[in-house]
A = this chain, B = another copy of it.
Amino acid sequence: MAFELGSVVSKLQMVSTSDHASVVSMNLFVALLCACIVLGHLLEENRWMNESITALLIGVCTGIVILMFSGGKSSHILVFSEDLFFIYLLPPIIFNAGFQVKKKQFFVNFMTIMLFGAIGTLISCTIITLGATQIFKKLDVGPLELGDYLAIGAIFAATDSVCTLQVLNQDDTPLLYSLVFGEGVVNDATSVVLFNAIQNFDLNHIDPSIAVHFLGNFLYLFITSTMLGVLVNVFLPPIISCMDHPDSDDICLLSAYIIKKLYIGRHSTDREVALMMLMAYLSYMLAELCYLSGILTVFFCGIVMSHYTWHNVTESSRITTKHSFATLSFVFEIFIFLYVGMDALDIEKWKFVSDSPGTSVATSSVLLGLILLARAAFVFPLSFLSNLAKKSSSEKISFREQVIIWWAGLMRGAVSMALAYNQFTMSGHTSLRSNAIMITSTITVVLFSTVVFGLMTKPLIRLLLPHSPNKGSSIITITTDSSPSKSVTVPLLAQESEADIDGGIHRPSSIRALFSTPTHTVHRLWRKFDDSFMRPVFGGRGFVPVEPGSPSERNGHQWR
Contacts and interface: CB of A to CB of B under 8 A. Distances in A.
Interface of A: 19-20, 22-24, 26-27, 30-31, 33-34, 37-38, 41-42, 44-45, 82-83, 87, 239, 243, 259, 262-265, 268-271, 273-275, 277-279, 281-282, 285-286, 288-289, 315-317, 319-320, 322-324, 326-327, 330-331, 549-551, 554, 558
29 contacts: A20-B289, A22-B83, A22-B87, A23-B285, A23-B289, A26-B87, A27-B282, A27-B286, A27-B289, A30-B278, A30-B281, A34-B278, A34-B282, A37-B274, A38-B239, A38-B275, A41-B271, A42-B262, A269-B327, A270-B330, A273-B327, A274-B330, A278-B331, A315-B551, A319-B319, A319-B323, A320-B322, A320-B324, A323-B324
Given A41-B268, A323-B273, A279 B34 contact: yes
Contact of A37 (B27, B83, B278, B554): B278
Contacts of A44: 264-265
Where chain A touches its partner, the secondary structure class is: helix
Q: Which 7 A-B pairs have the closest CB atoms?
A: A320-B323, A44-B265, A324-B324, A273-B327, A27-B285, A45-B264, A270-B327
B37 A288 contact: no
Contacts of A322: 320
Contacts of A82: 19
A185 B270 CA distance: 24
B331 A26 contact: no
A265 B30 contact: no
A326 B270 contact: yes
A251 to B, nearest CB: 16
B87 A23 contact: yes
Contacts of A550: 551
Contacts of A551: 315-316, 550-551
Contacts of A23: 87, 285, 288-289
Contacts of A20: 289
A270 B83 contact: no
Contacts of A41: 243, 265, 268, 271
Contacts of A42: 259, 262-264
Q: Which one of A42, A243, A323 has the highest number of Cβ atoms from chain B below 10 Å of its Cβ?
A: A323
Contacts of A279: 34
Contacts of A262: 42
A270 B87 contact: no
B282 A37 contact: no
Contacts of A288: 23
Q: Which one of A27, A83, A317 has the highest number of Cβ atoms from chain B below 10 Å of its Cβ?
A: A27
Contact of A270 (B45, B278, B323): B323
Contacts of A324: 273, 320, 323-324, 327
Contacts of A554: 549
Contacts of A31: 282
B275 A37 contact: yes
Contact of A265 (B45, B265, B285, B558): B45
Contact of A316 (B30, B323, B330): B323
A30 B282 contact: yes
Contacts of A263: 42
Nearest to A33: B278
A274 B332 CA distance: 10
Contacts of A268: 41
Given A37-B274, A316-B319, 10 more contacts: A22-B87, A23-B87, A23-B285, A34-B282, A42-B262, A269-B326, A270-B326, A271-B330, A274-B330, A320-B327
Q: Which one of A23, A27, A550 has the highest number of Cβ atoms from chain B below 10 Å of its Cβ?
A: A23
Given A45-B265, A285-B30, A549-B549, A83 B319 contact: no
A33 B273 CA distance: 13
A93 to B, nearest CB: 13
Contacts of A30: 278, 281-282, 285
B273 A26 contact: no
Nearest to A40: B271
Contacts of A22: 83, 87
Contacts of A317: 323
Nearest to A82: B19
A268 B289 CA distance: 37
A34 B275 CA distance: 6
A259 B275 CA distance: 38
A41 B246 CA distance: 13
B327 A24 contact: no
Contacts of A269: 323, 326-327
Contacts of A277: 327, 331
Given A26-B285, A285-B26, A286-B27, A331 B37 contact: no
Contacts of A289: 20, 23-24, 27
Contacts of A323: 269-270, 273, 316-317, 319-320, 324
Contact of A327 (B34, B38, B274, B330): B274
A176 to B, nearest CB: 23
A418 to B, nearest CB: 11
A528 to B, nearest CB: 33
A420 to B, nearest CB: 16
